Amino acid sequence: MKPLEAHVNPLTTLTEETRLALANLADAATDLTVPSLRLGVTGLARAGKTVFLTALVHNLVHGGRLPLFSAAAGQRMTGASLQPQPDDAVPRFDYEAHVRALVGERIWPESTRQVSELRLTIDYESSSYFYRKLGPGRLHLDLVDYPGEWLLDLPLLDKDYASFSAEALQRARAGSRAKIAAPFFETLARTDPDAPESEPAARQLSEDFKTYLAACRADAHALSMLPPGRFLMPGDLDGSPALTFAPLDIPEGAHAARSGTLRAMMERRYEAYKSHVVRPFFRDHFARLDRQIVLVDVLHALNAGPHAVADLEVALSEVLGAFRPGKRSWLSSIVSRRIDRILFAATKADHLHRTDHDRLEAILRRLVA
């Protein structure tokens, strides 16, 4: 797959890469005493990210059974403890509250709606005889939790508004989506892109489009390919112009949007969404990851039917296209940080008998093939 930055404006790419290099240099400076590893954990809605992270941290800190983690199984890991996270502007993953919810209150913790981090410091004995003679080792593991829907936004950086509209409408007209999107298309049919810009018209079209996306994500359909991701979890941007746009039916080869028209308004807001929502996430969080875990609720898609499985496959393809893979080294971590390992994991495997786990793994392997 072509890297994400291959088709964006060269000047923009150069500026972004320079900023990333400076951020990576700052990270490397703090790693001189104790090295750190930034591990991203994500997955689409209800994939189990919060429970997975809480259980992982709990087992590492309290010495739980982790037979497939060689450092723990071989008793080379001597301890793990929570530390203050280095990014003061990023919310902390509330591990303690999630443990109370699961153990004390017996309820599922709230799902991921924003980026959060947690630093775990691991003490260990190296598997190398040479390094073992130098003394015990320490590693800062920075766990970065973020919604998988935001990953589906990254390809938008490579698309203009006309391309986004054409793809979004093509998806909405296909298969089972057509019936779900009927109210949105009724509003769209009454909309003239060349009409004067109108806030009520933009808001109505945007609300109908968001309603369609939310219905696609519901359990009855369990569809996964639903960009823009912030439309379903707006957070503090709810109601902002950057989240008040929708695709328009623009004929192929149409003239450029005239100033003051609804289409120009939608294009401007789409570009604002990329500039103020998507690009900061890419620059400040995603592009700084070293490794990545993607949790996938395969069973949810299987229960909804073939259309949901096919949609999940498309979504995973988009997810893979967003990553910046490459071999990790000291120099590359400064110049251009890359993800050297990506793990796709099928969640909720406890719903199946253990003898069927290999089949679940085979289905996931086929989806990401």
Q: Per-residue pLDDT for 2 more than 50?
A: no
- Reported as a pLDDT band with limits 50, 70 and 90, residue 3 is very low
Do 8 and 144 sit in the same domain of this protein? yes
Q: Per-residue pLDDT for 45 more than 80?
A: no
**Domain boundaries, position 70:** 4-151+290-367
Q: Per-residue pLDDT for 6 more than 50?
A: no
Instruction: Give the Cα separation of 349 and 211 in Å (integer).
Output: 31
- Is the residue at 334 inside a domain? yes
Do 347 and 262 sit in the same domain of this protein? no
Contacts of residue 114, Cβ cutoff 8 Å, sequence gap at least 6: 91, 146, 147, 233, 235
In 10 A of CB 190, how many CB atoms?
10
Do 113 and 167 sit in the same domain of this protein? no
- Is the residue at 61 inside a domain? yes
The domain boundary, picked from 221, 249, 280, lies at 280
Beta bridge partners of 116: 145
Number of domains in the chain: 2
Do 246 and 342 sit in the same domain of this protein? no
Q: What is the mean pLDDT of residues 299-306?
A: 93
Do 10 and 140 sit in the same domain of this protein? yes
Q: What is the reported pLDDT for 18?
A: 65
Q: What is the mean pLDDT of residues 5-11?
A: 41
Do 8 and 146 sit in the same domain of this protein? yes
Do 244 and 302 sit in the same domain of this protein? no
Contact criterion met (CB below 8 Å) for 59 and 65: yes
Beta bridge partners of 80: 122
The domain boundary, picked from 280, 299, 321, lies at 280
Q: What is the reported pLDDT for 30?
A: 58
Q: What is the mean pLDDT of residues 201-229?
A: 94
* Top-confidence residue, 31 or 268: 268
Question: Which letter does DSSP use for residue 91 in this model?
Answer: P
Q: What is the reported pLDDT for 100?
A: 94
Side-chain half-sphere exposure of 5, counting CA atoms within 13 A: 17
